[in-house]
């Protein structure tokens, strides 16, 4: 079951702790240590087929994406832009 958590000034959690959990999925803020796993699972043509994710997906793409997500999160400008 997912719980809604506000991330405003009065929030008790920080954005880097954000985690959403469902029955079959857990979504969390990516960490630099996740780059290898992201690279491994996204570097599959059938996975990126209907997305704008580059193929072949390189480890440098995963590292750049993680840096961008974390930077944008600190700036509160979105997760994936």
Give the global pTM.
Answer: 0.66
Helix (H, G, I), strand (E, B) or coil at 20: strand
E strands, the chain, are: 19-21, 26-28
The pLDDT, as a whole number, for residue 22 is 87
Confidence of residue 21 (pLDDT cuts 50, 70, 90): confident
pLDDT in tens, 65-74: 999 988 888 7
Lookup result for tokens 């979105």? 78
The CA-based dihedral angle spanning residues 6, 17, 71, 33, taken in that order and rounded to the nearest 10 degrees: -160
Q: How many residues does the chain have?
A: 81
């Amino acid at each position: 079951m997912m719980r809604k958590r506000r991330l405003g000034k009065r929030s008790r959690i920080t954005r880097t702790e954000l985690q959403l959990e469902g029955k079959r999925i857990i979504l969390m803020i990516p960490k630099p240590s996740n780059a290898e796993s992201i690279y491994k699972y996204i570097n599959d043509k059938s996975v990126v087929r209907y997305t704008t994710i580059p193929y072949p997906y390189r480890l440098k793409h995963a590292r750049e994406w993680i840096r961008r997500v974390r930077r944008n999160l600190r700036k509160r400008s979105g997760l994936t832009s």
